[in-house]
Amino acid sequence: MFTSIDLDHTEEDITTGPTTIYGIYAWNATAAPLWLQMFNTNTVTVGTTAPTNNFLIPANADSDGAGVVIPIPVCGLAYSTALTVAITTGSGTDNGAPAAGAAGIALLYQD
């Protein structure tokens, strides 16, 4: 399991080999939506490297936090090379930084 209570646009290398994800919970304490970017490599430049998957983390309307549990197939979500994650203010190759402590995740995975 990987957890971060302050994930941002700086990439986090979770694993350096094949990985299967079985659960994702992400939270957002800002008034704007954020994006969880997931990469099937450990050589990532956020803003340049295209993410393998992008998941929207809903905005928080009343300062108590908003979260999302992302549905994963029973067989898991496979990354064949590695797993790196980041959270940004936009999707795709966006590299906008959320505020410090504004977002986090919990990942259940097997490598």
Give the pLDDT score at 10. Answer: 94
pTM equals 0.93
Cα 81 to Cα 39: distance, rounded to the nearest angstrom: 9
Tokens linked to 9? 């646009």
Give the pLDDT score at 65. Answer: 74
Residue 105's domain comprises: 2-110
Phi/psi at 15 (5° precision): -140, 160
Give the pLDDT score at 62. Answer: 72
Give the pLDDT score at 63. Answer: 66
Cα 99 to Cα 32: distance, rounded to the nearest angstrom: 11
How many domains does the structure of the chain reveal? 1
Q: Tens of pLDDT along 59-69?
A: 987 767 788 99
| CB crowding 40-53: b at 16 or more within 10 Å, else e | bbeebebeebebbe
Give the pLDDT score at 67. Answer: 87
Low-confidence ranges of the chain (pLDDT < 70): 63
